[in-house]
Amino acid sequence: QANNGKPDDYVYFDRNLKEFSEGAMPKAQSAQLKLEHYYKIAVDSAVERNTRRVELERRLQNESMMSEERKNRQLQQLGKKESNFLRLKRTKLGLDDFRTVKVIGKGAFGEVRLVQKIDTGKIYAMKLLKKDEMLKKDQLAHVRAERDVLAESDSPWVVQLFYSFQDSAHLYLIMEFLPGGDLMTMLIKYDTFSEDVTRFYIAECVLAIEAVHNLGFIHRDIKPDNILIDKDGHIKLSDFGLSTGFHKQHDSSYYQRLLENGGNPPGHGNPSNARNSVMVNSINLTMTNKDQIATWKANRRKLAYSTVGTPDYIAPEIFLQKGYGKACDWWSLGAIMFECLVGYPPFCSENTHETYQKIMQWQNFLAFPDDVHLSREAEDLIRRLITSEDRRLSVEQIKKHYFFYGVDWDTIRRIDAPFVPHLRSITDTSYFPTDELDQTPDYSGADPNAASRDLAFLGYTFKRFPAP
Amino acid sequence: SPRTSPIPRPLYLSRPFVEAALVKGNFKTIVMLPKYVDIMEWVAMNIFDFYTNLNEFYGVIAECCTQQSCPTMMAGPTLSYTWINQERKNVHLPAPTYIDYVMTWIQNLLNDEATFPTKSGHDFPQTFPSTVKHVYRQMLRVFAHVYHAHFHQLLHLRSEPHFNSLFAHFLAFGREYELLDMKDVKGSSSAPVGIGQLYDRWREMGILEG
Ligand SMILES: Nc1ncnc2c1ncn2[C@@H]1O[C@H](COP(=O)(O)OP(=O)(O)OP(=O)(O)O)[C@@H](O)[C@H]1O
């Protein structure tokens, strides 16, 4: 029988949820999402596997001196590695596959521990992130995309991520352990660096930031805490894809309110007229008074652990929310360079909202103290980084700046670093402030909305194809 | 005119549902054994994933699959699967019980290091191929029951493109690695499996290959 011109096996079906429980549709949607994700990954992995094989086959084809037997062995080795990787995908990794050696760091959303994988004995850094804290911010999707690409990157300038897994309360990232600590800890210890030492770290940061930009990302939150030191004393940027954008202070709506509120933190009344005079006073106080700087330094680590975070290194255009480009990371680098040479960051203040105000009016507040000697080159570079976005140097210009005279950009990662960590064992944590950290594991209970929340973290479980 | 069959065409064989698919294109890309890769690892991982995904979707319609709605494990108008009990007797079980047994059994196998090894240095047992065929056959029955008894519920929940693709992938994979017996897919002439016709339709439509 004709069915409105449709073929006779065509059926109209009236969809409704009358016979179902309330939870049925969400459950169905969850299953659908998971399957979509599954097929996306299945196709991506097939493509990647193929790429790895074709690359090896092509390389071997060009090896005219290599025996067929050896070529064959290499192909079989790739197959073995791919097979092990398939096995890893079946392996359910969980917290109990790792033994905690020590808590080595704290961040806004959880902590970082030194752990050992029980079956292989290998050492890793494990970052725990509290899901509900992360969900309170709305940038999850955006941040996840960043992490996905970084997870795939093999750049020597970015901390490698090996596995990630989750339970109802936490997300766990298993990363390579960098035993040398971070630049913040080093600055607390040494106060300032010589220009040669600064040149080394800043030059390495230039390459690291360039690598991140080449991956298509803008970091936005480069600071000494995120610059980690490997066993040879070279730097890597920590897995920032997850941490950026989350801090309360970096939350764009927070800053929006701050802006609308005449620069006073939300919820703190608005003392009219007093604004300008207060700021003028604060320059003199903060920039010349050693006690103020000492207070800032004493609080530096606490600031790093707090969910408030520090805005000291953030470029003004980020706060303005009118869009920003790669250039914002070069501003941050300028602020870090200033700190390396001067001992504190250029806009440091007693509280974050003063810092914020100084950054917004950097023209009035960027000052080089008289009692610290900086070379002309160093000061010039800083002034060309801490400047308006349109005048800031590009990466090519930075590399050619005369502060970096003599730097060999192609080999810097292979030369001897100024400080090489002295390590007594693979689990040596002497470069971490472990005494200051609460060593009791930071677990918070699961929560009733766990199922729907887990869905938000669907893309997070990750296993890295082993590096060659 | 010839008498038409009294049994209406099942919804899963009707358009547009028979064509609904999440995954378009050829399953070959994700079914084919990657070059140089161990076939056991490939099959093991895929079984693991089929189980996980099937479990997820059965979980969705489980509230509709009860002792009352499904007192036996039907997969066609005249086909009801039996379970072999401890006395080696064929017994009829309510579908939810049957499926619970199957899924628990598979879950335990997947977690068993001696059957599905995950630690480095552990090899697959000699019996792995036959075990896997067994697993495949039981998973096929779960698919067959869901299509036969619960497809309309999947429609209400707008899940048919997903479930169809999962099943088509399952069939394509099973054919490629000879994990499926045609007689399990089609059943006998007196007790055909509902999804046997679906298999044929999908082949005609090119969703599945020859
Ligand atoms: N892979 C690693 N190896 C060694 N130490 C690490 C590693 N990752 C992080 N740490 C330590 O833990 C501290 C906190 O880590 P991180 O800064 O990544 O966390 P976070 O505070 O959540 O992120 P952020 O503050 O950048 O938003 C670092 O300053 C560093 O000392």
Annotation says A132 is catalytic: no
Of A6, A15, A38, the CB nearest to B53: A38
Which is it for strands A462-463 and A123-130: parallel, antiparallel or unpaired?
unpaired
| Residue A464: strand, helix, or coil | coil
Cβ within 8 Å of residue B97, ≥6 positions away: B67
pLDDT in tens, chain A (468 residues): 445 677 788 889 999 999 999 989 988 988 898 898 888 888 888 888 888 899 899 999 998 888 999 999 999 999 998 998 898 888 878 888 899 999 998 866 778 899 998 878 889 999 888 877 766 654 454 445 445 555 656 789 988 888 878 787 888 888 899 999 999 989 988 889 999 999 999 999 999 999 988 877 778 778 898 899 999 999 999 855 543 433 333 344 443 444 444 444 443 333 332 222 222 222 233 334 566 666 667 666 666 555 446 788 989 988 887 777 889 999 999 999 999 999 999 998 877 888 889 999 999 999 998 888 899 999 999 999 999 999 999 999 999 999 999 999 999 999 999 999 998 888 888 888 877 777 665 554 444 445 544 544 554 556 665 554
Using the beta-carbon criterion (under 8 Å), do A46 and B155 form an inter-chain contact?
A: no
| Residue A129: strand, helix, or coil | strand
Q: Which helix (H) or strand (E) holds A31?
A: helix A24-62
Using the beta-carbon criterion (under 8 Å), do B56 and A34 form an inter-chain contact?
A: yes
Quick one: closest CA in A to B16, which residue? A10
Which protein residue has the closest C-alpha to ligand 1 atom 21? Answer: A107
Cα–Cα separations (whole angstroms), residue A215 to A154, A261, A385, B127, B138: 10, 37, 22, 47, 46
Per the structure block, which two tokens stand in for A326?
Answer: 């790669």
Question: Which residue is it, tokens 């890295």?
Answer: A464
Per the structure block, which two tokens stand in for A7?
Answer: 């073929």
Cα–Cα distance measured from residue B10 to residue B27, given in angstroms and rounded to the nearest whole number: 25
Q: Which of A252, A243, A178 is nearest to A217 (CA)?
A: A243
Task: For residue B159, give the amino acid letter.
Answer: S
Question: Cβ < 6 Å from ligand 1: which residues?
Answer: A 104-105, 107-109, 112, 125, 127, 159, 175-178, 181-182, 225-226, 228, 238, 240, 243
Cα–Cα separations (whole angstroms), residue A103 to A179, A242, A430: 13, 19, 12
| Residue A130: strand, helix, or coil | strand
Question: Catalytic residue among A119, A196, A221, A371, which?
Answer: A221
Which is it for strands A462-463 and B73-76: parallel, antiparallel or unpaired?
unpaired
Of A9, A17, A76, the CB nearest to B156: A17
A361: how many CB neighbours lie within 10 A of its CB?
14
Q: Which residues in chain A have Cβ-Cβ distances shorter than 8 Å to B120? A: 84, 119-120
CA of B20 vs chain A CAs: smallest distance (Å): 13
Distance A66 CA to ligand 1 centre (A): 44
Please, what is the angle between helix A327-342 and helix A376-385, to 10°?
140
Please, what is the angle between helix B160-176 and helix B39-61, to 10°?
150
Distance B139 CA to ligand 1 centre (A): 45
Cα–Cα distance measured from residue A78 to residue A461, given in angstroms and rounded to the nearest whole number: 24
Cα–Cα separations (whole angstroms), residue A284 to A54, A230, A289, A368: 64, 39, 8, 13
ipTM above 0.85, yes or no: yes
